[in-house]
Amino acid sequence: METTPGYRGFLRLCEAVGLDLEPFQRKIAHAAHGDQHELLALLPRGCGKSRLVGTLAVHHLLTVPRAAVYIAAASREQASIVFRYARDVAQHPAIAERLIVRHLELRGPDGAFLKVLASDAPKLLGLSPTLCVVDELCAHKDEQVYVALRSALHKVPGARMVTISTAGQGAESPLGRLRSRALAQPEVTRRGALTDARGPSLRMLDWSAPESADVDDPEQVKRAIPASWIGLDAIRDQRAALPDLAFRRYVANQWTAREGAWLPPGAWQACVGEPRFEDGERVWVGVDVGGSESASAVCWVNADLSVGVSIFHGDEGVLECVAQVRELAGRYRVEEVVFDPWRFGQAAQELERERVRVVQFPQTDVRMIPASGRLHRAIVERRVTLPPSRELAEHAAAAIARHSRRGWRIDKAARSDSIDAIIALTMAVERAEARPEPARVLGWV
């Protein structure tokens, strides 16, 4: 097919490759071809942002002389998501003969190309793009990648930049600063869930639920989600599954703080019951030792995620934790004792000499983010049986979800808060559920 530049030419390409655009997608595409050479589009997750901008990038590649299209994100892996959509469009029979597909690169007519960039800002200097696509700016640790690409737009007349993302956190984040600049444009209107901000060079389209919205009402949240394929049942499911701030940010597309509740109201209480253990059964044990002014805790779970807990106080907490582990080892088959090495390292060595298997669990984001999500899912899905312990419930109430660009993790709001039992429970559930599959012998050599 013959491709023509501009918005109408883009619509014809979408029709040819089988992309049926919804009204909100047409609005974004129209803005991408508008008077402003920079566009920021903020949408909830799952609204097809990546597929839309991937198609926009291919259309640009085919219609702009000597096009130089760059796709950047917080990581090369993230940027490759947009590329995969662009590649799928490029391989459609309607245009496949005009494009060459390479690894993370498309080549078009007259030396035109589309490339995925590494998230290494110094290596991005010196580029002369005709189109830059920045994916999920909310996940960027700083604004260096954005600045490196944005500062290159003046090199080529008519060069454009499209940034797509879900909502972020904090006004001082890279996305927060760009959003603030957009809201300072001469013309800003809000109609329903859509905020449309435009000025001489920058336009922003932001679909989000207002701060006053009742996010427990799926119909109110749905008004902020323009994609027809996301229905009320999906919203209810996400509300039950996600921490409050994560739901507000990723589903309602609300701008949020960096911390908030980690469980939906009532989720903890719904899991309180009568944990059942049998002598000799397998258990996984988590130990978190606090300081002299904090608590220390031992939590143990079995394969059915019944939970036991002992919480101690004061300087003797370490010794009491060791005694509790020994008692458990005498009654059950302790698969692992998983611990934060900060204060329990020497005690763990003593237990190891007694042939108790001990496993370090450093409290880093790499370890705690997936573990926090696993415990959260187990609770909201009611797969955990919690003991009727008031102090354990108090530790749960004192815990928050602290968000970062990598995700969220269970943390404490203030240094004086005690959440040690929840940290111990998080580690125990992680090790109980994240068991490797047994090896299978497929043959003999």
User: How far from 132 is each of 60, 270, 297, CA to CA, in Å?
Assistant: 11, 49, 51
Which residues make beta-bridge pairs with 402?
259, 409
Contact 117, 79 (CB under 8 A): yes
pLDDT in tens, 171-197: 667 888 888 788 878 888 889 999 999
pLDDT in tens, 11-25: 999 999 999 999 999
The DSSP line for 93-108 is TTTGGG-EEETTEEE-
Specify the pLDDT at position 287. 95
- DSSP 8-state symbol, 436: P
Torsion over CA: 226, 228, 232, 238 (sign):
negative
Contact 323, 350 (CB under 8 A): no
User: How far from 215 is each of 223, 235, 244, 264, CA to CA, in Å?
Assistant: 11, 10, 9, 11
Rounded Cα distance between 358 and 365, Å, is 21
CB-based contacts of 224: which residues, under 8 Å, 6+ apart?
A: 44, 193, 207, 208, 209, 213, 252, 253
Walk along the chain (445 residues) and give the pLDDT tens digit of each residue: 788 999 999 999 999 999 999 999 999 999 999 999 999 999 999 999 999 999 999 999 999 999 999 998 888 788 889 999 999 999 999 999 999 999 989 999 889 999 998 766 566 778 899 999 999 888 888 888 888 899 999 999 999 999 999 998 766 678 888 887 888 788 888 899 999 998 899 999 999 998 778 999 999 999 999 999 999 999 999 998 888 888 999 999 998 766 667 887 678 888 999 999 999 999 999 999 987 667 899 999 999 999 999 999 988 888 999 999 999 999 999 999 999 888 888 889 999 999 999 999 998 999 999 999 999 999 989 999 999 998 998 888 888 888 776 788 999 877 777 899 999 999 999 999 986 555 555 555 4
CB-based contacts of 356: which residues, under 8 Å, 6+ apart?
A: 325, 329, 334, 337
Rounded Cα distance between 129 and 84, Å, is 20
- DSSP 8-state symbol, 292: T
Question: Which strands, in side-by-side order, build the sheet including 105-107?
Answer: 100-102, 105-107, 113-116, 68-72, 131-135, 160-165, 38-42, 202-207, 194-198, 187-191
Q: Is 6 left (phi over 0), alpha (psi -120 to 50) or beta?
A: left
Specify the pLDDT at position 445. 46
In this structure, what token pair is assigned to residue 114? Answer: 């589309």
Rounded Cα distance between 151 and 250, Å, is 29
SS3 content of the chain, % helix, strand, coil (to 5): 40, 20, 40
Sketch out the chain's domains with CATH numbers: 6-207 (3.40.50.300), 218-257 (no CATH), 267-433 (3.30.420.240)
Instruction: Single out the residue of 159, 250, 252, 149 nearest to residue 201, CA to CA.
Output: 159
Helix (H) or strand (E) holding 10: helix 6-17
Q: Decide: residue 438, CB within 10 A, 0-12 exposed, 13-18 middle, 19+ buried.
A: exposed
In sequence order, what E strands does 235-313 have?
Answer: 259-260, 282-288, 295-302, 307-313
Which residues make beta-bridge pairs with 124?
none
Question: CB atoms < 10 A from the CB of 220, how many?
Answer: 17
Coil vs helix vs strand at 315: coil
